[in-house]
């Protein structure tokens, strides 16, 4: 699971925007993507079912993480 969902910086984080782009998720842009986190670690899980390959992108480590539960909810 991506730790971004409980991070204070989620709404303007460049790495979160990158991950959401790879999830092909459309998120409302209420703020400019201006925050560049340091020392991030993205885990990509690969699942193959027949001829279909699914990639799941999750941020699992970030030194810029500041806990704020519920930050994923875009108002």
**pLDDT of 29 above 70:** no
Q: Determine, yes or no, domain membership for 16.
A: yes
Q: Computed from CA positions of residues 38, 61, 2, 47, in that sequence, does the dihedral angle turn out positive or negative?
A: positive
Predicted confidence at residue 40, as pLDDT, reads: 96
Residue 56 lies inside a defined structural domain of this protein? yes
Task: Say how many domains are in the chain.
Answer: 1
Report d(CA 43, CA 58) in Å as an integer. Answer: 5
How much of the chain exceeds pLDDT 70, in percent?
87
Q: Is residue 74 part of a domain?
A: no
Dist. CA 73–CA 44, nearest whole Å: 23
Provide the residue range defining the domain that includes 25.
3-62
Mean of the pLDDT values across residues 12-40?
83
Predicted confidence band of residue 27 (pLDDT cuts 50, 70, 90): low
Asked whether residue 52 is assigned to any structural domain, the reply reads yes
């Amino acid at each position: 699971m991506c730790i971004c969902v409980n991070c204070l910086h989620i709404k303007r984080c460049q790495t979160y925007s990158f991950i959401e782009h790879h999830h092909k998720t459309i998120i409302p842009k209420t703020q400019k993507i201006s925050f560049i986190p340091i020392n991030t670690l993205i885990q990509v899980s690969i699942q193959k079912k027949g001829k279909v390959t699914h990639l799941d992108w999750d941020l699992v480590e970030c030194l810029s993480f500041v806990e704020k539960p519920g930050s994923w909810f875009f108002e």
